[in-house]
Structure 1
């Protein structure tokens, strides 16, 4: 690795640490396997390639990057690596809390090396791990049978967490104090891992920023249909799923990505029924990694009881509304949100439209999940960033974001209090209560009668 100073704190940085064998050849569409040991000292000073992903992954990386100088990402199917940021500590000092970041990107883009962790590691004295996992077809192809059943991307995440349990002590981290935190698809993954028996014991606290397993994009409902469309575009059509999977396994990574681009994930098509559009490739209910529908699991209490912080980021994924409502429900939404809008006031119209999508997607799913879990910056931006780092690190250390010096973050209980993190931090109650009642009614009407009890 390499060393760097952040203020007076010395940080060790280890880039491109393998947590699995490269998922190539017969290991494509297969569970990750432990990495091969190496002799001597391994160079860990170069950012690893991100996993193969959609062509706009580089732009997304620039957008979320926390590095002062952006470094262009490379992409490869050989991508199961971690980046670790660890404060230097004396051997006699106690081990440090560990925080593992899950990148977002709708399971289509995202990379560990978009992020730089030295500032958080140094200021809050935590060991930071940035993971990445297989994406799109490589991460989530499923034929819903024994030939390609599993959630490869989620299994990669768990392999990374097992690596943390087995190795993080060598970096000064405490394997008994591991907090997961992530945004968007990363937040959904964390929520999903809290429902997976295979992830039990791999972490001790969790933070989801804009995304839970109740968000509709999290689960692919008909994976075989998606797999057959992928196979058709790839020239691998066959009634036998075994032959289909072997054909896809034999293609070059570049060919698979060309097929992924032809799938036109996340691209709106107003000429088609939203229910018929394949929006993404995402986790599936496989009976093992994800044992059942997430709503059923939450309702039955089949979820980890670790302390959990969850919330929504502002104005995230504002293009997702068509995925959440049917065309018959559009007039109801228009009446609820746009009834009093002046048609000549475009700013008001824009803001109301953004409210619609925010409420219909992340806010609703986050509040529903919370119900089941009850029991270059300006000076202001810098202060907000430092405050959020302090909340996150406090939570990683103790399971409580409060320390007596910050505005109190209330526990989410029957009063439904929440903390609004902004330039002015304040406590509120019943986030968007009337709007959430509207969406509850709308979504309940979409469900079959037998499921409405959930």
Structure 2
């Protein structure tokens, strides 16, 4: 009977509908059909990869600063053996071949057919101004976790978050790209052996802040079934100097009116004013616009059609998709930011500047913070300041977000705590050892830039356990799997470190009771 059904399907379809007819151990095809046409991928070890599939039309020319449109169909078979270009970022040149024609996804799936697999859609970090989907090689996650992994490019900086009065989509173009990629994943999951009814969106840093916002977006409702938020909650706030000494207080989201004012200011700097400002900006080259992109870091706009409410307010009010959520961060988040500042200028963070940093960050509460985090407790001023920022900005806001979520849905909390994690940020400041700094958890799920950075058995073992947790959560909404320590739902985080996976009182470790009474 099954053979007859498959024969009939083969007569009418070259799509993923045939996946259900394959033997469990038969290699899955390298040529599949997505909704816009056929694509031919490549084999890599035990995985298949389909790199650089367009999920939207290029947002160039007249489509610059418009909401994404579905890709144009193509004829024949498109080779997708290498990724598309990164979204425009950094300084243009031969060593940075980024482009505005960048709305591509990369799909990694097991070579062997395993039935209908969970789909995991990855949103990269980079402050909304840097990064790309191709940086995250998902072969391990796909093959060990038995999942279809989709990594996404989305518009960055000025190209993704510009706002102007009267411009549809103001401040949300990169966010709209992420929603379009989720729609694409739903439509095309079955072509790669994935279950379109079982999609998990997950992201780190800016990708996590986007994921948290997606939970509160009516436009994203129904596009995913679970979410993973890593190092970036809806309530994240940096005090003055929190991202870099001298920088103003900030958070990932801005009111649309502020975003439009900032857009007008950038347009004026580019000599684009008045009723023709948008047309003038569209006439500028990518290279002319890129120097203004950093001004649109952490600039996702709310009060819009795609994001009607401030995500932090929406989360507290319960106005979010009540899907299972896995949420956490790294134990020493701010060490990377602090070490980066010291590496840039060793005089920025010292015993002499520490009181001034506290005063600028916490105003009249600076004395209380100094008493709670005295320099005498720490080997260096850099470690003292990093601990203040980790606790005040990152860890406690993540725990608060977990509580808001847990009031209405199932939550699993974690804290990555490997003190010898790979130094992925390339920072070498003896006074601020990186430990479990921001982004050091990423090599445990992905081969960054195609490289396995885990050099010993203990780290590789932790990576296998984490891949097992993440993929089990994507499959069922429960991260527990055979052979791994029990992970209980709730707001008490599971600490993830080699040989020491256990539940911890992170609120006490990060002094969140103190920070709850210390206004900024």
**Shared topology, TM-score over 0.5?**
yes
TM-score interval, smaller chain: 0.7 to 0.9
Shift of 1:223: 1.0
Residues 174, 73 of structure 1: CA spacing in aligned structure 2 closer, same or farther, 3 A cutoff?
farther
User: Between Structure 1 and Structure 2, whose CA radius of gyration is higher?
Assistant: 2
SS in structure 2 at match of 1:75: coil
How does 1:105-144 map onto structure 2 within 5 Å? Answer: 105-144=126-165
Cα distance in 2, alignment partners of residues 56 and 177 from structure 1: 39
Shift of 1:316: 3.0
How does 1:49-448 map onto structure 2 within 5 Å? Answer: 49-55=85-91, 74-90=97-113, 94-146=115-167, 149-216=170-237, 217-221=251-255, 222-238=258-274, 240=275, 243-260=276-293, 265=294, 280-318=297-335, 319=337, 325-338=361-374, 340-341=376-377, 345-346=379-380, 349-374=381-406, 375=409, 376=453, 377-412=455-490, 416-423=491-498, 424-432=500-508, 435-443=511-519, 446=520
Cα distance in 2, alignment partners of residues 431 and 141 from structure 1: 37
Cα distance in 2, alignment partners of residues 323 and 53 from structure 1: 34
SS in structure 1 at match of 2:125: coil
| Contact 1:151–1:286 (Cα < 8 Å) also in 2 | no
SS in structure 1 at match of 2:119: strand
Listed one character per residue, the Cα deviations across residues 339-391 of structure 1 (whole Å, up to 9, x for unaligned) are 6437xx43xx4332221111122212211111111143221111111111110
Residues 366, 324 of structure 1: CA spacing in aligned structure 2 closer, same or farther, 3 A cutoff?
farther
Match of 1:33 among 65, 69, 85: 69
Cα distance in 2, alignment partners of residues 124 and 286 from structure 1: 38
User: Any stretches of 5+ residues in structure 1 without a counterpart?
Assistant: 59-71, 266-277, 447-454
SS in structure 2 at match of 1:284: strand
Cα distance in 2, alignment partners of residues 109 and 324 from structure 1: 28
Partner of residue 445, structure 2: none
Shift of 1:247: 1.6
User: Any stretches of 5+ residues in structure 2 without a counterpart?
Assistant: 1-39, 238-250, 339-356, 410-452
Residues 210, 133 of structure 1: CA spacing in aligned structure 2 closer, same or farther, 3 A cutoff?
same
Give the TM-score taking structure 2 as reference length: 0.72
Cα distance in 1, alignment partners of residues 359 and 219 from structure 2: 30
Partner of residue 62, structure 1: none
Cα distance in 2, alignment partners of residues 147 and 165 from structure 1: 25
SS in structure 2 at match of 1:121: helix
| Contact 2:42–2:81 (Cα < 8 Å) also in 1 | no
Cα distance in 1, alignment partners of residues 167 and 369 from structure 2: 42
Cα distance in 1, alignment partners of residues 54 and 363 from structure 2: 47
Shift of 1:431: 2.6
Match of 1:21 among 46, 51, 57: 57
Count of residues in correspondence between the two structures? 400
SS in structure 2 at match of 1:50: coil
| Contact 1:144–1:286 (Cα < 8 Å) also in 2 | no
Cα distance in 2, alignment partners of residues 299 and 324 from structure 1: 28
Shift of 1:88: 2.7
Listed one character per residue, the Cα deviations across residues 63-97 of structure 1 (whole Å, up to 9, x for unaligned) are xxxxxxxxx7631000000001111344xx52111
Residues 99, 324 of structure 1: CA spacing in aligned structure 2 closer, same or farther, 3 A cutoff?
farther
Residues 434, 226 of structure 1: CA spacing in aligned structure 2 closer, same or farther, 3 A cutoff?
same
Cα distance in 2, alignment partners of residues 144 and 47 from structure 1: 35
Residues 287, 279 of structure 1: CA spacing in aligned structure 2 closer, same or farther, 3 A cutoff?
closer
